[in-house]
Amino acid sequence: MLSLQSVFAVDVRRAQRPAGLRPPKKRAHGGDLPAIKSVAFNQPHPAKVNAPRGCPPGRGFGAAAGAPIIGRPPRPAPGRFFKKPGEPVTRHTVRIAMAQINTAVGAVDDNARKIRHRIAAARALGAHLVSFPELALCGYPPEDLLFHPAFVDAGRRAIDALAAHTAGIVAVVGCVERDAAGHLYNAAAVLAGGRVADVYRKQRLPNYGVFDEKRYFEPGDGIAVHMLGTLPIGISICEDIWPADGPPVRQAQVGGARILVNINASPYHAGKREEREAMLAARATATGAFVCYNNMVGGQDELVFDGQGVIVAPDGTILARGAAFAEELICADLTVDAPARPHAPDVRHVSLGDPPAAPAPAPVPNLAEPLPRTEEIRRALLLGIRDYLGKNGFKKALIGLSGGIDSALVAVLAREALGPENVTCVYMPSRFSSDLSTRDARALAEGIGVRYLELAIEPLFGAYLQTLAGPFKGLAPNEAEENLQSRIRGNLLMALSNKTGALVLTTGNKSEMAVGYATLYGDMAGGFAVIKDLPKQLVYALSRHINRVAGRPVIPESILTREPTAELRADQKDSDSLPPYDVLDPIIEAYVERNQSQDEIVALGFEQDTVRRVMRMVDLAEYKRRQAPPGIRITPRAFGRDRRMPITNRFRE
């Protein structure tokens, strides 16, 4: 069975590190504490940096901005720091907590309440510092809510109120800051001793893919280091840590930071965890600092955030990892050696006070194992369904069953996400529906224990044909008659939705959405498109995975093995209209996700006529995709926020 494996007795031999990094010389041991990830680790090399002291006025809510960088001292060799002979060194043991939480966009008061509770929980564990995700206070992404002054004002009031709950602990909270000129910043409020001690402003603003931060925010500048006693800590936000010369690297190499706290709202796509952890290991080894990477968890419209925050040692070893797609409080004891030196002149230093002694015993090490790829995708879809419905006030879902693989998968996912009592499946046969489809639809619904309805559409279809007999006279049958059936089904589902308050989940996959193999106001009618970003081959792989994990055919084998068909005309098959999916899906991936040209795709081994035809179908279907409901992003480039193409488009290769 493929499932989440938690490691409850972890030492550094089992901590994960990228290939090519040597194992650490020292090892830490621990025991079992399922809800808390933590580790104690001694840093082997002190940093050759200027240790800060003092606290010039920092920027904050109403505070003055820090000075920009004037010059940059020579950098030490990546990952290697040396202390001078006879130089005094201070050893620090600091307890760091990361609150991996699920917040809702716009729910400022609810989010603040959750943050307050996690501050209290971290303090009870003896943590000196607790971090929260990027824009945790207002939710991410807030989009054009940021243009409403009342929205920004609510966040400011909440930050001031949260500061009062930080006696004996430092809290780093993602929020929006507005300066006196009205400029907005993606910020991290640093709360300590009952006050807003500082506000860090994100410097690298992403403006690609699903990100639009330059539409709303101004970038911050300068190097800031926050002093927990005499321990220098760097604070940064998400994209800041991705470039090799970004703010966290400068905080360590110029400002002397020994721990880098990075807060994130990093959206999930398949393969993102591996990419992210390799980058974080590179930053840790380049700076010789601990990296504490906290990520948001939860679903927000098309985006899902996977959590999986990590603490990375200076040699690149992953010491702690939060659970995937679940809230968690991650806690770690880190032992750091830092030489006492004068400040670098171009670094802004902020004092956070002296930390109290951490209580014994130290937190217990734990390291969540990464999920297998297909299981990871399943968890992302479940969280996306649960949060989209829950955060928008829906409790129940409706799914139109066809007897095929797509609707079967959506029904199984909805049942697991919402519970069988909250899912209704509706089978709507026509004159073209086969006995096999009827049997499979019933078997699926009965097997997963959901409510099942059968509504025959033949009387309605006949009435439509009779009404249209005059206008259709003399015209050969075509897609018009086929699409009537799909639109009748969509109308019935929407009527049931209006009557019961259940949300209709559509069942189209990425392959179909790419080439327009879907009916506007028919099978596209609904409120949420669960598998909108799953290519057809992945639909099959995920369905087989679900059966394998369950140890039984949750999705009947006959659904998995029959040839795909829409059953809108006699003996219809998908292959009548489309290339085989093992040809179609790679072409779509190359064209849509990798922006490859026709010649480049042909060079992969596909026939030129097929490639040209698929590219043309993708381009023509843009008008349909603009009218589709939102759906969960799974691939590195999904239709919607990721890919913005004109509908009226006369360009051809």
Q: What is the set of active-site residues?
A: 134, 202, 238
Q: Please report, to the nearest 10 degrees, the dihedral formed by the alpha carbons of residues 472, 473, 475, 480 taken in order.
A: 20
The single residue listed with the structure tokens 């369905």 is: 543
For residue 35, the SS3 value is coil
**Which residues are within 8 A (CB) of 440 and not within 5 positions of it... i.e. 6 or more apart?**
403, 408, 556, 558, 559
Query: CA–CA distance from 504 to each of 37, 389, 525 (Å)?
Result: 38, 10, 8
Distance CA 331, CA 335 (A): 13
Residue 8: which of 361, 321, 367, 329 has the closest Cα? 367
99's tokens: 């609150």
Residue 518: which of 439, 384, 402 has the closest Cα? 402
Residue 626: which of 643, 640, 641 has the closest Cα? 640
Distance CA 512, CA 600 (A): 23
CA max distance for the chain: 99
252's tokens: 């360590």
Task: Please report which helix (H) or strand (E) contains residue 422, including its range.
Answer: none
What amino acid occupies position 184? Answer: L
Radius of gyration of the chain (CA): 28
How far apart, in Å, do the first and last CA atoms of the chain sit?
46
The three-state DSSP-derived secondary structure of 340-387 is: CCCCCCCEEEEECCCCCCCCCCCCCCCEECCCCHHHHHHHHHHHHHHH
